[in-house]
Structure 1
Amino acid sequence: MTPNEQGNSSSQAVNQAEKIVLGKTAEKALISSYLDIKVPFYDVDSMRIVWHGHYVKYIEDARCVLLDKLGYNYLSMEESGYIWPIVDMRLKYVASAKFANNIRVYAFLVEYESRMKIAYEIYDLATGKVLNKAHTIQVAVDIESEEMQFESPEVFINKVTAQLNNDATKPLSE
């Protein structure tokens, strides 16, 4: 899969994205990002509809964009002494994405103090129609002791807090 954009859009994507009306999840989001994808042929079945399992790949890619924005991607997690396995994942299929559709996958950080909960919404850029809603929950596990942490590690809390402070100083137009 080749993402078109990661958090910034071309003028065509901006025009198409104007059709998208984000749901209540976006209002609750502490930090958000998105990824634009043109659905490749190898992700579809004989009816040219995206196979359901590929949505997991799409949300994983969007999560990586969000984690990069935080400055705490999977390599940083390991370097800080933690891994973050997924302990819960839920997807709701609303409509089908099809071959060559331009879709936008939003990732919204909604919880971070005791676990990392990220909500996702996938939209068809041409129509603004919601295609999928999902969420994942990850918990920190100390690499050495292999013990699950009941509170998010300070390094993660600091990254989120720094991003929240950074976002608060930006003008609303950005």
Structure 2
Amino acid sequence: MSGSEQSASKWFEYRVEVFPHHTDYAGVVWHGSYVGWMEEARVLALRSAGLGYEELVASGFELPVVELAVRYHQFAHMGDRIVIKHRVAGLEGVRIPWEYEIGSADGGRRFASARATLVLVDRQTGKIRRRRPPIWEDAIAQLLAPVPEI
């Protein structure tokens, strides 16, 4: 999967409940909470594909966000149950775009949408890795696998 663009993967879901520490004094979700939830969702998706983030780091790599765009559609509040739908949006050379749709668990409200772009970095040199290691290739292949037809 190196170099050429790949199609987007299936959507994954990560569910959270809004607790007081996610909100401001008015009980509205603080904008940065969404970014934390997106990170948690991404790390868990990688783990589900067989690559724990701690394993990636132990292998000498980091996966930093190099670009992030978030659009806030409406407020979420303390006590809301939220679903973060997310997926790898393909591969663009060394760039790994990840898409997010964040809404209410019942599907009735859309709180935010986002796109994060990540790159794989060699921890020792601090440089972007153009050739990805096998542990990464295996995990990303699982995340990009097409959804089986029923």
**Cα distance in 2, alignment partners of residues 163 and 131 from structure 1:** 25
Larger RCO, structures 1/2 (Cα 8 Å, 6+ apart): 2
Greater displacement, 104-113 / 143-152: 143-152
Selected match of 1:64 from 27, 43, 47:
43
Does 2:103 match 1:123? yes
Q: Contact 2:88–2:144 at 8 Å: present in 1 too?
A: no
Q: Which amino acid counterpart does residue 8 of structure 2 have in structure 1? A: A
TM normalised by structure 2 equals: 0.82
Whole-Å separation in 2 of the counterparts to 1:92 and 1:135: 9
The equivalent position to 1:47 in structure 2, one of 26, 31, 54, is 26
Q: Which runs of 5+ in 1 are unaligned?
A: 1-27
Counting only pairs closer than 5 Å after superposition, residues 151-166 of structure 1 correspond to structure 2 as: 151-164=131-144
Matching residue's letter, 1:67: L
Q: Percent identity?
A: 23
2 CA distance for matches of 1:138 and 1:104? 22
For 1:88, the equivalent position in structure 2 comes to 67
Correspondence for 1:110 among 72, 82, 89: 89
8 Å contact 1:32–1:108 — kept in the other structure?
Answer: yes
* Cα deviation digits, residues 45-94 of structure 1 (max 9, x gap): 22211111111111111112211122223112113321111111111000
RMSD: 2.1
Show structure 1 runs of 4+ deviating over 6 A: none
Residues matched between the structures, number = 143
CA offset at residue 114 of structure 1?
2.3
CA distance in 2, matches of 1:154, 1:110: 20
Structure 2: stretches of 5+ with no match in the other structure? 1-6
Hey, what does 1:144 align to over in structure 2?
124
Secondary structure of 1:76's partner?
helix
